[in-house]
Each structure stands twice: as C-alpha cells, then as structure tokens.
Structure 1
Amino acid sequence: MSCTSCSTKKDGVPNGCKSNGNCGTGGSCGSGSKLNVFDWLSNMTLPNGEAPFHIFEVRFKNGRKHFFKNTENLTLSMGDVVAVESSSGHDVGTVSLGGELVKVQLKKKNIKADSEEILKIYRKATQKDIDQWQAVREKEPETQKRGREIISRLGLKMKLSDVEYQGDGNKATFYYTADDRVDFRQLIRDLASAFSIRVEMKQVGLRQEAARLGGVGSCGRELCCSTWLTDFRKVNTAAARYQQLSLNPLKLAGQCGKLKCCLNFELDTYLDALKSFPKQDLALKTENGLAVFVKMDIFKQLLWYTYKDNSFKWYKLTLEQVNEIIALNKNNEEAAPLEDYESDLVAEVKIDFENVVGQDSLTRFDAPKPKRNRNKNNRNKNRRNKGKAVAATTDSNSKGPAKKQPFKKGPKEAVGNAAQKQGNQEGKPKPKPRRNYKKPKSKGGNEKKSEQ
C-alpha cells in the first residue's frame, strides 16, 4: 500500500512526492519503509518530569541513516523533513526514529550519546529548503552519467554506482566499487570543475551496492539487504554443503555476485538437525560387504547407502535403522544385508491423481477444424426419398391403374403453354432440369387438386 500523496504513474515513477522512490512523508511506498524500525513505543506517554530523548535518527537517500541532536528542543515526529548540520553547509533528511528506541540503536551500533560525531538538527525544513533539495536530487542521474564518461576517459578501473547530492547542493558524494586500489586524484579535479561542487569519493562493497540500489531476488521478493538486513556476515560454501545444496555458483549467487545472504538464515537449524545424524565418512559393515554413504534427506530423516563393491543400486534406510547398524558394528557384529532393511520400510501412499500438465500440446487448438461434408448428408436424404417414392409407386401399381381426373387450366397457364410450345417449335433448346431440385413426395398416386 502507498500513502495518498505518493500514487505512481503508469511508468512506476511516484506521482505525488516526486522523490523517485524515496517517500518524503515516511510512508510505506517505494523505499520509504527501507530499513525502518517500527516505533512500538510511539503511543506510550513518558512519566512525569521525564524529558524525551534528545537524539533522533534521520534517514537520507537509499537508506543512509545518521543520528542528530535536537539542541533547539524542536517538536519532531516520524516523517518530518529537517535541515541538519553537515561537514560543509547543511543537509536535508527525514526523521525515521525518535524516543527510547534511539537509545537501543545507539547501543547496538556502539555509539555514545555524548559523542562528538553526533551533529545538530538546525530546524524543520522550510519550503525553500525542500524545493532546493528536490532540485538537486533531479540532477543526480545526469551527474552520474557524465561522471561515468569522465571515468572511462581517464581509463580508471572502477564502477560508479550512485551519486548523492547534499541538501544545499554544495557537495556531492560519489559511491563506487573497485577490485583494486584506484588513484582518483585527477578524477576529483575533473568532477569538481565539471559540476562546480565539492566532491567526496566513497568506496562501497558489492553487497552494500546491491543494498543501496535495491532489486528483486530469485525468490520473487525485494532484496533482504535493501529492506531489513544490515549485518553483512561472511557467507561460505560450507553453508550450502550443510544444507545439501548443489554447489552451482549461478544458483547460489545473488544480485551482487556474491553468495546469497539467505544461506545463513537456516544454517543453525540444519546444524542442530545434523547432530543426530551419523558422520558421512562412516561405512556400515553388513553380511554382503561394506556400505558407504550416498546422500540424506534431513527433514524426512532418510539416508541412502550403497555397497562399495556394487555402487549401481542405492538402498534407502531410516535414521533409526542406520543407528541400529552402527550399534551392531561397535559390538563387532555384522548387520543384515541392506535389502532386508529396505524391505521393512512402509510403502508410501501413492496419489490417485496424476499431473497431466505438459502431456497435451500447447498448439492443439491452433489447427483448423475439419470441414463437414454436407453433400454426403444430402445424398443420404435423396436416397431415402427415392426409396420412399419407389415404395409408393409399387403400392399404387398393385391396387390397379388410377383413373385420370380432368384438369382445368386457367387462361394464363394456357397462354403460357401455347407460347412455350411455339417456342420449342422454333428450334430453341429445352431448359435443363435443376440438379438440386427435389420432387414433392407422392402419397400413392395423383391427387386431386382443389380449386379455389
């Protein structure tokens, strides 16, 4: 859900606050909720005589946060835009946290409340401050583009990932990634002369770059490092081995090119579950020979073993059966063949239905339908009509010849017949009968026509 003033356009750009994904009201749209701490003490009232904590947390672009002192005793709340002290001039940010939870964050980050690193909050941002802040924010894409052109012209082996202007527009911070040490003294001179600002270069890691830029992971959700994860611990391939995952770098790597941080999420659960499993290099002694480990299913507590001499067939055993065999081997006893243990397993219940997705061709409805042979149906009808007519004539002949009834013709018909006879005598061909013409059904002889 988004706040009422930050509805997006068709191309996904915020329509209301025009902050390109950074909600200025502290709402939940875009990246406004990026790495935010839920203030569950906001509705609590302080005891009598207790003053509120004077340090606030202020959020800037792409989740960058710092702590500032409220020396002017301003009445601030979540989402207020404030002008804060900076190394040169002032910067503009949004209040993201205040009150007692700031003490918890300071303790978590090992920052003392009386530290000189904590700067001051000047004032609540005026409309002039906000307009200037938005104006310099609109310069960032063009500055980043020109900065990359200057870097490529100088031939430096570095990647410029983001540019952030200070609220007053006097300074810009260029975030970059590089594998080796880079001498960018000439680059700073060129950037300062090109944009007429103070330039600060800051190197970030690949994980921090992905956290700043954001993205969507292979799970279909937004990256953890850009929403809530702040502790970038080292991830090893051993975490994938403990979880029985294939060591495929394409599947294990995240958007940053490093191993996914989520490999550490369930590692402790897997380590606790593996304590009850035997070691994988332990061989089982059976009457048919030694059996070695192949694979396991931690959640179902199943293990697969195969004979060392004949490794073509695998045998599925439960964790209890394997522990039973190990106990026999410790007493210098050989266990029964693995075939006997596998036969004791309860057969799994098979599902009655089957998955038929993919069995039918996707283009089965594209072929044109065969045309129906309507002439064949007409022929069958004609045959039936002829059969009925023949049967009717045979019945009439058996009864005897019918008497002819005189037929009176009208004057128009007589004139037409006379003209037709005269025309035929002149040598004109007779008209051919129509093929599709159907004779009327006869009901046993000529019937007498009624005169009107």
Structure 2
Amino acid sequence: MGCTSCATGANGQPKGCRNNGTCGSDGCNKLTVFDWLSNMSLPGDQKPFNGVEVRFKNGRKHFYQNSENLSLSIGDVVATEASPGHDIGIVTLTGELVRVQMKKKSESTDVEALPKIYRKATQKDIDIWQKCREKELSVQKQSREIAMALGLKMKISDVEYQGDGSKAIFYYTAEERVDFRQLIKDFARTFSTRIEMKQVGFRQEAARLGGVGSCGRELCCSTWLTDFRSVNTSAARYQQLSLNPLKLAGQCGKLKCCLNYELDTYMEALEEFPKTDIKLKTEKGTASCQKIDIFKRLMWFAYDKDGMNWHQLYVDKVNEIIAINKKGKTVASIEEYIEDVIESDSKLFNNVVGQDSLTRFDQPKRRRNKRRSKNRNRSRSRNTKKNG
C-alpha cells in the first residue's frame, strides 16, 4: 500500500494514505537506502562516483550518470534521458553507495554507458509531469474499455506517463499470449501519444497495488521484498501445512512468499528425522510412521496389523531401532523404547497487553441481574400498596 502506487493530487501530494510521504512503513519510498557516507570525505585524490540512482512511479529505479556535475542530493527532482524526450524522477541515492547498489544488482559500473541526467527539473517540467500523472487514472479506464471491446483476455493494471508526456507505458497481466497489435493502434488514435506495452507477473502487480495480507500486515512485496523467489508446494509439505490453495495463496493468486522464510530452519530440523516411508522391524511385526512433530522431535508409529494404536517415540530412539535393523537384527517391540513426554507447566501465552478474555460474553454478569430483580420487587410492592 505504498504511496508510489497511489495517484497524486493537484499539489503533488499522494492521495492514498494522506501522510504526504511520511508513512511509518516507508511505503512511499520503497527500499530507501541511508547514505551513511554522505558526511565523510573521500581518501586521497579519489574522485566521487558520478552515478545517481533515480526513482520513478511504482518504485521503479534506474541508474544515470551525472555528466553535468550537478550538485544533487536525495529528494531532488531531475530530468533524465529517455527515448524519446526526457523523463522526470526523484533522486534516491548519490555517491559511492550507488556503485555498491549497481554491483548488488549485477549491473556494470561503467558510468559512461549509463544514460544522462539533463538538469534539475524546472517548475515547467514539474507542471507537465503533474498534469500527466493526473490523467493516468482516466486513461486506464478508457484503455480497459477498449481492451474489453476487442475481446482481449488481458487486464491493464496500471498506466505510467513519461515525464514530458510523449509516451505512455501500459502495464498488463495475462495468462496467455495476447495479440495487441490492433490495441496499440486504437490506443495511439485515442490518446495521441506513443504507446509501450509491458507485461508484468501477478506478483509484480500485487506489489504495485499493495494490500494487507492474512497476517494483518502490509504485503511484503509492496514494502521490503526485492526479489520474487519461486515457491513450491514442497515448502508447505516440509512444514506440514495442509495443501489448501485458499490458505496458501496470497492476493496475487500464487503461493505466499512467506512459505520460504522458515523453510531452511525446517530443513535443518528434518535432517535428524528418518524418512517417513521407513519401517521398523520388530518381533511383534513391522511398524510404519503415521505422524511426526518437528518441534517436539516426536514420531508416531503403528503396527501394520494394528493400525489404530499409535506409539509415540523420540527421534533418537527411532534412529536407534533403525541402526539395529540395518545390522539384520530385530527388536522385541517398539513399546520398550517409549518414554514419557514431560510437558512443562509454564504458560505458552501471557497476557502482557491487558486484553480481556475471549469468553467474557459467555456468562452474564450476576450483579446486574440481582439489581434488576430488586428493582422489580420494589415496584411490585409499591403497586400492591397502591391497590390495597
């Protein structure tokens, strides 16, 4: 829900959260970098790095060269080189940290190959830029109507005008390949500008639009997440989650990115566990694994002839039985290896916030009922005296 994906008002302030770029989640300027080298002088005769990082709409960032040696600082509005014309963006980083960012994004640090920054934006440039931003919402509605009239199976999620208004970029999502040659002709005829179509994934669309996830917090992709790693259903299996697409899917319709956050910890814990398809050989018969508990390091086994009765074993005991079976021996029974699980009496949850009980409405308050009954008895006694 960052302000970068919200429309702007007539004075250039964001309409969405109305915090004017100072929201607590830092969504207005996603992935900002604090320039901790700004107050430090360079050693020796080293020249400062001439690259600049500039941010555009929807958190899009590019690198440019400061060929004119302008005195730029974070937050300056600049006119950058574009094809055709120029674009308007906001400086997000200058100095030596730009080189670090370029290496982090696997881009060449050759400044001469980067596009140029023409100048600091004048008031005329800013006025044209704001007029273009104001009409993006109406253009998006018209473009959707044109796409629906042509019967194209696509969704136009956003429109971005170039700073000088000479080009409009239409972001769309589609499950299949779309032939939009006629669509571009209709767009150029209707909006009288150069048209560029860019297909984005469903996760990128959710990152631009923003929202609140099932955890109650803003989406990770719209606040701090930079890369979208592939998420497989195996991540849910390792964490013993039910394969319910309604619970595992995010607002983008794909598997939630947070399924990968604790996957490494689960993988390390599962290294001590044997495979679930292994069988324990005993004199009473073979036993198969029915269930595991990763946190408590427990496994439940049941004999093939008596599948209703489960026996609880620690992982160490299971590995001990497997080691004996590998030597060609069998144990008497798995009951001999059962240990009592001692559960601590400590509370798993403490009410540190001062919240009320969830069952506070289940039982009525008795004091109020007593007062009501007393008032009723008094009124009845008064009525009997009057009638008598």
Q: Is the 8 A contact 1:26 1:94 kept in 2?
A: no
Q: CA deviation at 1:42?
A: 2.8
In the other structure, the counterpart of 1:257 is: 253
Counterpart in the other structure of 2:342: 347
Counterpart for residue 84 of structure 1: 80
1:25-104 correspondence runs (5 A): 31-104=27-100
Q: Distance in 2 between matches of 1:353 and 1:227?
A: 31
Q: CA deviation at 1:360?
A: 6.3
- The 3-state SS of whatever aligns with 1:320 is helix
Please say if 1:19 is aligned against 2:14: yes
Per-residue Cα deviation, 1:31-71 (whole angstroms, up to 9, x for no partner): 32312233333332212422211111100011111111100
> What amino acid maps onto 1:374 in structure 2?
R
Other structure's SS at 1:143 match: helix
Instruction: Kindly provide the amino acid, as one letter, of the partner of residue 141 in structure 2.
Output: K
| Contact 1:137-1:165 at 8 Å conserved across structures | yes
Residues 21 and 31 in structure 1, CA contact (< 8 A), matched pair in contact too = no
Three-state SS of the structure 2 residue aligned to 1:32 is helix
1:24–1:94 Cα contact (<8 Å) kept = no
Residue 220 (structure 2) pairs with residue 216 (structure 1):
no
Give structure 2 stretches of 5+ with no counterpart. Answer: 351-355
Amino acid at match of 1:248: N
Superposed displacement of residue 357, structure 1: 5.5
- Do structure 1's residue 374 and structure 2's residue 378 form an aligned pair? yes
* Conservation of the 8 A alpha-carbon contact between 2:238 and 2:267: yes
Match of 2:176 in 1: 180
TM-score, length basis structure 2 = 0.85
Gapped regions of structure 1 (runs ≥ 5): 7-11, 383-433, 437-452
- TM-score, with structure 1 as normaliser: 0.74
Instruction: Read off the aligned partner of 1:372 and give its amino acid letter.
Output: R
SS at match of 2:31: coil
Length, aligned pairs only: 374
- The RMSD of aligned alpha carbons is 3.4
Q: CA deviation at 1:20?
A: 3.7
Identify which range, 35-44 or 195-204, moves more after superposition: 35-44
Distance 2:118 2:8 in 1: 31
1:332 Cα deviation (Å)? 3.1
1:42-441 → structure 2 map (5 Å cutoff): 42-114=38-110, 118-342=114-338, 344-350=339-345, 361-362=361-362, 364=364, 369-370=372-373, 372-374=376-378
Q: Secondary structure at the match of 2:343?
A: coil
Which shows bigger deviation, 22-31 or 330-339?
A: 22-31
Superposition deviation, residue 287 in structure 1? 3.4
Structure 1 residues 303, 435: CA separation in 2 closer, same or farther (over 3 Å shift)? closer
- What is the identity, as a one-letter code, of the residue corresponding to 1:316? Q
The amino acid across from 1:197 in the alignment is T
Q: 1:88 to 1:354 in 2, by over 3 A?
A: closer
Question: What corresponds to 1:441 in structure 2?
Answer: none
Whole-angstrom CA distance in 2 between matches of 1:363 and 1:138:
56
Greater shift in the superposed pair: 58-67 or 124-133 = 124-133
The one-letter code sitting in structure 1 at the alignment partner of 2:378 is R
How far apart, CA to CA, are the structure 1 residues paired with 2:113 and 2:82? 11
Distance, in Å, in 1 between the alignment partners of 2:348 and 2:377 is 39
Please tell me the residue identity of whatever aligns with 1:254: G
Q: Give percent identity, aligned residues only.
A: 60
Compared CA separation, residues 24 and 105, structure 1 to 2 (3 A):
farther
- Select the structure of larger CA radius of gyration: 1
Higher relative contact order (CA 8 A, sep 6+): 2
2:32–2:92 CA contact under 8 A, matched in 1: yes
Distance 1:19 1:346, change over 3 A: closer
Using the TM superposition, give the Cα deviation of residue 189 of structure 1 relative to its aligned residue in structure 2, in angstroms: 1.4
* C-alpha displacement of 1:107: 1.9
Change (3 A) 1:357 1:293: farther
Letter in 1 for 2:45: G
Residues 303-345 of structure 1, C-alpha deviations (whole Å, 9 max, x = no match): 1222222222222211111122222222333334334433x22
State whether residues 53 and 100 of structure 1, in contact with CA within 8 Å, keep that contact through their aligned partners in structure 2: yes
State the partner residue of 2:353. Answer: none
Aligned residue identity for 1:162: D
Moved more, 107-116 or 12-21: 12-21
Change (3 A) 1:77 1:25: farther
Amino acid at match of 2:376: R
* Cα contact 2:86–2:163 (8 A) shared by 1: yes
Moved more, 146-155 or 299-308: 299-308
Q: Is the 8 A contact 2:14 2:21 kept in 1?
A: no
User: For 1:59 and 1:222, how far apart are their aligned partners in 2?
Assistant: 21
